[in-house]
Structure 1
Amino acid sequence: MLTSPSNHFYNGDTMKTKLRPGVRALDRFMKSTPGMSVARMTNEQLLRAQTTVIPERGPASLFLGRLQKEVDVRTTTFTARHGELSLRIYTPQSWARAARPVVLNIHGGGFVLGSARQCDWSCSLVAKELDAIVVSVDYRLAPTHRYPAALLDCFDALLWVAEHAPDLGGDPGRIGLMGDSAGGNLAAVVAIAARDEAGPAIGHQALIYPVTDMTEALMQDASYVDNTDRGIVLSNDDMEVFHAFYVNEHDDPTDYRLSPILTPDLSGLPPAVVVVAGLDPLHDSGVRYAQALADAGNEVTVEDFHVMPHGFLSFPYFSVSARPAMDAIVASQRAALY
C-alpha cells in the first residue's frame, strides 16, 4: 500500500513555486564555492574532498548541523571482506529498559564523496528521537573503488551490525536501514540482498531522495528534464560524472544492484518511507520506486517536499523542511521497529 501525507506532497506545481530564501542561499553557496560541484572539480580537488576530515566542531557544524545533545558518538573499525572500514556509532545517553533498535545509516555523495561524519545531525536525531543505536559506515569511494565495492562494504556493515547489536545495547531482531541519495540506492539494494541471500532480517528502510534508476529511462523523467536548466544543488552534469566514476563500462545498468527499480521481484521487502524533493532531478524516479514497492505488496509512505532541492537534509539550518522530513522518517521507523 502506498500512502502520502497531504501537507507537503507533490502537487504538480513544483516549477511554479518560488524558492524559499534558505534554498536560494544554499544554491548560491554551492554554485559559488570552488570544488562543491563534482562536474567542475579537478582531480586534485576531488582527492582533497575525499581525504579531508570534517572537524568535530566549528563552522562545519553550522553548515551540516550539530550533533544532538544527549547522544554520545564514537568511532570504531571493523573488518570487512576487503579490509578495515570505519564506523560512527550514535548512542542515546538515556537509560534503556530494553535493547534498542539498530539503524544502519549509509551516507550520500554520489558514491564518490561524503563520509559518515556529514550525517551527525540526522543520525544523532534518529538516535535521540527513536531511542535507537545508529551505526553509520564509511564505505569505499569511487572512482578508486568502483561498483560493487560500496555495495559489498555496506552489506558487510549490515552483517557486523546484526552480529554486534547486543554489544551495542541493540536488538538484532529490530534492524533498520537509512540512506540518502547514493546511500539510498545502497540501502535499497542491501534490503533486497538481505532478503535474497538469507541475510539479517530488516524491519524498515528509510530511502531519502534515493538513486533508483541508472538506465536512460531516468533521462525521460520530467524532474530530470526540468533540471537541465534549473540545476539546483545537484546538476545533471554532476549526475553524469558520478555515474561515470561509479559504474564500469562493462556493467549492466539494468542490474538491480545498480537500478533497484528494475528488480524482477520486489515483494517481501521491509516497510519503507521514501523521501523525495520536488526540485530534485531524482524526484520522479524516487516516486516510481515507491510505487513499484507498493505494487509488489509492500507498505510504503512517500514524503514529498515539493519546494526542496536534492540533499536538503544535509543542510538542516538552510532547509525549512529538514526537520519535518526527519520527524516523518522517525515516525515511520517507530511504527515499524517498535
Structure 2
Amino acid sequence: MSLPLRTKVFWSIYRRVERDPVMQQGADKVRAASDRRRKMSRMPGSSLLTGRPDRGAVAEDTAATLPDGTTLPLRIYRPQVRTTDAAADALPVVMYFHGGGWVSGDPWQSEWWCAGVAAGAGAVVVSVDYRLAPEHPFPTPVEDCYAATVWVAEHARELGVDADRLAVMGDSAGGNAAAVVSLMARDRGGPRIRLQALIYPSVDLGADYPSKHENADAPVLTRKDLDTTWHLYLPDESKMHDPYASPLYAEHHDLPPALIQTAQYDPLRDQGAVYAAALRAAGVSVRLTNYVRAVHGYVSLRNVTIGADQALGEAVAVLEDALVERSADVVAPAE
C-alpha cells in the first residue's frame, strides 16, 4: 500500500492517541467514544488536519421540527452572492448527510467541504445532524435525513432556496443516506431530486467485496470497523437487504443522476463501483471517479489525504451542471 507520507504520519499518531476506535466499541460504549472523537476534532489547531472553511460561505444554525415533534439540528452554509433581480434570490439547495458509520459524527466534521460546495457552486448547503445508532438504529437515521429534506423543500421560501433545484450529498454512511433519500423521494412522491452525490458510499451492509480485504488495515476505516458498525446500525440482520438499509438491493429505475466518488485505499471502494453499475443498468446517468492514493474520509480530512481538493472541485462542477442557473454571481473569497 503506497500511502502518501502525510497520511502515514497522521494515521500513526492517531492510532497512538485513539487506541479504542469509535467504530469498534460495543453498544454500551460507542456514544462515549464518539463524544471523545468529537471533542478531539474541535481542539485548537484541528483545522490543520480538517481544512479551513471557505471564506466565500457563511454558516448559521437552525433546526427542523418533524411531524412527530422531533427537533433535528441543521447547519446551513450560504454563499456570499450578488444577485441582479429578486427572482435570483432563491438559490439551489444541497442536503448534506455526514459520515461516521451511523454511530458517530456531526455536521462540523465536514465543514470545509460543505462551505466549499456552497461557495463554489453558489448553492445553499444544509447539513443534517441526524440521530445516531445504537440509541437510534435503522431506520431512524435515514428517515431523519428524508424528513429533513422534505422540511427544507416545504420551508424553501423562508430559507431562501429553490426547492425545484435540490440535490442530496453524503459521505460513507451519509452516502448511504443520500442514496436512500433518493429512493424514498421517488417512492413517496417527492421532493424531486436533481442529483445524488455519493462520496465513498456504503450501499451493501455486511457485504464482502475484494476491497474490504485488500484495504483491511487502511487508515481511517478498517475491515473491523465495517464488521462492527453495521451491526450497531442494523441489529435485525433479517433486514440486511432492505433497500432502505442496503440501497444496492433496490429497484433503480427513475432515480436522479449520480456522482459517485471512491478512494483507492478504502475498504468501501468496490461498493461505489458496484452501485454505479446497478444504476447504469437501470438507465441512470452516473459519473464514477476513483481517487488514486486517497483514503476513506477525505471529506473530513482535507490536509491528510491527497485528492480532497480535486474531489471537491469535481463535486462543485457536477452540482453546477445539475442545479445552477447563471443569474447569480458568486463572490470570490477575500485573500
Contact kept, 8 Å, 1:38 with 1:241, in 2: the verdict is: no
Tell me which amino acid in the other structure corresponds to 1:158.
Answer: T
Structure 2 equivalent of residue 331 of structure 1: 317
Q: TM-score, normalised by structure 1?
A: 0.88
Secondary structure of the corresponding residue to residue 314 of structure 1 = coil
2:304 corresponds to which of 315, 318, 324: 318
Q: After alignment, is 127-136 or 63-72 more displaced?
A: 63-72
Q: Deviations over 1:245-297 (max 9, x none)?
A: 1002254111111110111x201111111000111111111100011111111
Mapped contact 1:313–1:319 kept (Cα < 8 A): no
8 Å CA contact retained: 1:275, 1:304: yes
Distance 1:268 1:29, change over 3 A: farther
For 1:249, the equivalent position in structure 2 comes to: 236
Mapped partners of 2:99, 2:296: distance in 1: 11
Mapped partners of 1:55, 1:311: distance in 2: 13
Secondary structure at the aligned position of 2:239 is classed as coil
Q: Which deviates more, 134-143 or 59-68?
A: 59-68
CA distance, structure 1, for counterparts of residue 40 and residue 151 of structure 2: 25
| Secondary structure, counterpart of 1:172 in structure 2 | strand
Alignment partners' CA distance in 2, 1:267 and 1:96: 37
Aligned amino acid, residue 313 of structure 1: V
Q: 1:232 aligns to what?
A: 219
Q: 1:249 to 1:255 in 2, by over 3 A?
A: same
Is this contact kept in 1: 2:182–2:255, CA < 8 A? yes
Distance 2:237 2:5 in 1: 43
Decide which of 64, 67, 72 is 2:50's aligned counterpart.
Answer: 64
Q: Please say if residues 303 and 328 of structure 1, whose CA atoms lie closer than 8 Å, have aligned partners that are also in contact.
A: no
Q: Which deviations, in whole Å up to 9, do the C-alpha atoms of 1:155-174 show, x marking residues without a partner?
A: 11001111122222211100
Quote the Cα distance in structure 2 between the aligned partners of 1:276 and 1:56: 26
Residues 126-205 of structure 1 mapped to structure 2, 5 A cutoff: 126-205=117-196
Q: Does 1:24 align with 2:15?
A: no
Letter aligned with residue 108 of structure 2: R
SS in 1 for 2:62: strand
Check 1:55–1:311 CA distance in 2 against 1; reply closer, same or farther (3 A cut): closer
Q: Distance in 2 between matches of 1:121 and 1:54?
A: 17
Moved more, 71-80 or 205-214: 71-80
% same residue: 37
Q: CA RMSD in A?
A: 1.9
Code of the residue aligned with 2:11 in structure 1: it is: D
Whether the aligned pair in 1 keeps the contact of 2:199 and 2:260 (CA below 8 Å) is yes
Aligned-partner Cα distance in 1 for 2:39–2:4 = 31
Residue 81 of structure 2 is aligned with which of 62, 82, 94? Answer: 94
Residues 36, 312 of structure 1: CA spacing in aligned structure 2 closer, same or farther, 3 A cutoff?
farther
Correspondence for 2:329: none
Give the match for residue 211 of structure 2.
223
Q: Which amino acid aligns with 1:84?
A: T
**Ranges in structure 2 where 5+ consecutive residues have no aligned partner:** 325-335
Secondary structure of 2:192 counterpart = coil
Amino acid at match of 1:222: P
Q: Find the aligned partners of 1:105 and 1:74 in 2 and give their Cα distance.
A: 14
Which residue in the other structure is 1:125 paired with?
Answer: 116
For each residue in 1:200-251, what CA deviation from the matched residue of structure 2 results, as whole angstroms up to 9, or x when unmatched? 0001111000001014xx21x21012123x3322111111111111002254
Give unpaired runs (5+ residues) of structure 1: 1-14
Please state how far the C-alpha of 1:177 moved relative to its aligned partner.
0.4
Measured in 2, the distance between the counterparts of 1:33 and 1:240 equals 22
- Residues 218, 295 of structure 2: 8 Å contact kept: no
Q: Using the alignment, how far apart are the partners of 2:273 and 2:62 within structure 1? A: 36
- The structural deviation recorded for 1:325 is 0.4
Work out the CA distance in 1 between the residues paired with 2:107 and 2:83. Answer: 25
The residue number in structure 2 matching 1:298 is: 284
Deviations 1:90-148 (A, max 9, x none): 01122234121100000000000000111110100000000000000000011011111
Partner of 1:109: 100
> For the Cα contact (< 8 Å) 1:111–1:150, is it kept in 2?
yes
Distance change in 2, residues 1:133/1:57 (3 Å): farther
Deviation at 1:60, TM superposition (A): 2.5
Q: TM-score, normalised by structure 2?
A: 0.89
Amino acid at match of 1:91: R
